[in-house]
Amino acid sequence: MIKIQIPATSANLGAGFDALGLALTYYNYIEMEECDKIDITAADGLDIPTDERNLIYISAKDLFAVCGKKLEGLRLIQTSNIPMARGLGSSSACIIAGLVGANKMLGDPLTKDDLVDLAAQIEGHPDNTAPALLGGIVTAVFDGRKVHWVKQEVFTKLKFVAIIPDFELKTEEARACLPKEVSHKDAVYNLSRAALFSASLLTGKFENLKTAVDDRLHQPYRMALIPHCKDVFDIAYTHGAYAAYISGAGPTIMAIVDESNQYFAGKMKFSLDNAGLKGWQVKEFHID
Ligand code: HSE
C-alpha cells in the first residue's frame, strides 16, 4: 500500500482571496493501492463517501486519465483528521491525496508543477491545493491552465491558531454570497493589502499583519454566515494576535500569533466559553 500524509491548509490569509494559502501541521493519512473494485474504508469510522463519489478516487481517476490510463478500482483507507466544511482545506487534501497517490502508482510520470496545475483545474482555485502539495506559505496565480507559484520562507517565530466553530459552512454557499463585481476602490484596497501581507511575512514586519489581512472582497460578506465572527476577531486581538482572518471560505477563524505568546490558545478558549461560544475548539499549529 502507498502511504500518504496531506496537510490541512488555510487559504486567502485575509486579502489574498483565491491566491494566498499555507499548509498547517495537521494531517490526513491515506493508504491506497490499485485493485479491481472500489474498496474504501474510514479508519476513524467517519462518514465518508465509499463509492465513486469519493474525491480521492475521483482525483486518482483524473490523473490516470491524463496519463492515458484507466483506473479500474482503488483500495483506500482514509484517516480524516481535517474537519469537513470548516475552511481548513479538507477537499483539497482529498484532491492532492488522489493525485499524489495515483502518480506514485504509475511511477511518478507527472512533475510537481503538473500536479499543482491539475489540482487547480479540479478545484477551480489554487490557494488550498498548492500549499497542500507544496507545504509552506504559497502565493499562487491560476491563469486557467497553469499555476504560477512561489513558496515563501517560513518563519518559525509564528504559530497559527485555528478557532473552529461547531457548525459547517459549505464552500459553495460561502462563494455564492460574494458579489459578481467589486469597485475599483475595493480592488485597490485588497491588492495593496495582499502585497503588504507577503512582503511583511517575508521580512518579519509582523506589526503590519493586522492591516494586511483586512479585506473587502469576501470577509465582509461571509461574516453574515458566521455568527460571532467579529467578536472572535476582537477576542483574538485582545489576547495579542498579530492578525485574525476567516480561514478559506470559513467558518474557522485563524489567528496569527507570536510563538512567545505562550498561553494564547488557553486564553482564547476561556474567553470563548465566557462569551457563550462553548462549542468552538481552539487548536494550535505551525507551518508544515
Ligand atoms: N479561496 C477560496 C474561497 C478558498 O475563499 O472561496 C476556499 O476553497
Ligand 1 atom closest to Cα of 175?
6
Give pLDDT, residue 45: 87
Strand-pair category, 73-79 with 243-246: unpaired
Rounded distance between C-alpha atoms, residue 84 and residue 73, angstroms? 25
Q: Is 171 in the pocket of ligand 1 (CB under 6 A)?
A: yes
- Cα 156 to chain centroid distance, Å, stands at 19
Confidence (pTM) = 0.96
For ligand 1, atom 1, the nearest C-alpha belongs to: 18
Cβ-based neighbour number of residue 250 at 10 Å: 25
Rounded distance between C-alpha atoms, residue 225 and residue 229, angstroms? 9
The interface predicted TM-score (ipTM) is 0.99
Q: Is 248 in the pocket of ligand 1 (CB under 6 A)?
A: yes
C-alpha distance from residue 280 to each of 53, 96, 183, 252, 257 (Å): 30, 28, 35, 9, 18
Please, are residues 270 and 264 in contact by the beta-carbon 8 Å criterion? no
Give pLDDT, residue 118: 98
Strand-pair category, 20-35 with 38-42: unpaired
Cβ-based neighbour number of residue 9 at 10 Å: 30
Strands (E), 107-249: 137-142, 147-152, 158-164, 243-246
Ligand 1 centroid to residue 276 C-alpha, Å: 28
Round to the nearest angstrom and report the end-to-end CA distance of the chain.
24
Ligand 1 centroid to residue 11 C-alpha, Å: 6
Ligand 1 atom closest to Cα of 92?
8
Ligand 1 atom closest to Cα of 127?
1
For ligand 1, atom 6, the nearest C-alpha belongs to: 249
Rounded distance between C-alpha atoms, residue 112 and residue 146, angstroms? 12
For ligand 1, atom 5, the nearest C-alpha belongs to: 249
Q: Is 12 in the pocket of ligand 1 (CB under 6 A)?
A: yes
Give pLDDT, residue 14: 97
Ligand 1 centroid to residue 81 C-alpha, Å: 20
Q: Which helix (H) or strand (E) holds 187?
A: helix 184-203
* 93 marked among binding-site residues: yes
Give pLDDT, residue 200: 94
* 175 marked among binding-site residues: no
pLDDT 10s per residue in the chain (288 long)? 999 999 999 999 999 999 999 999 999 999 999 999 999 999 988 889 999 999 999 999 999 999 999 999 999 999 999 999 999 999 999 999 999 999 999 999 999 999 999 999 999 999 999 999 999 999 999 999 999 999 987 767 999 999 999 999 999 999 999 999 999 999 999 999 999 999 999 899 999 999 999 999 999 999 999 999 999 999 999 999 999 999 999 999 999 999 999 999 999 999 999 999 999 999 999 999
Ligand 1 centroid to residue 217 C-alpha, Å: 11
Q: Is 123 in the pocket of ligand 1 (CB under 6 A)?
A: no
Give pLDDT, residue 218: 98
Across the beta sheet with 243-246, the strand order is 243-246, 253-258, 158-164, 281-285
Ligand 1 atom closest to Cα of 87?
7
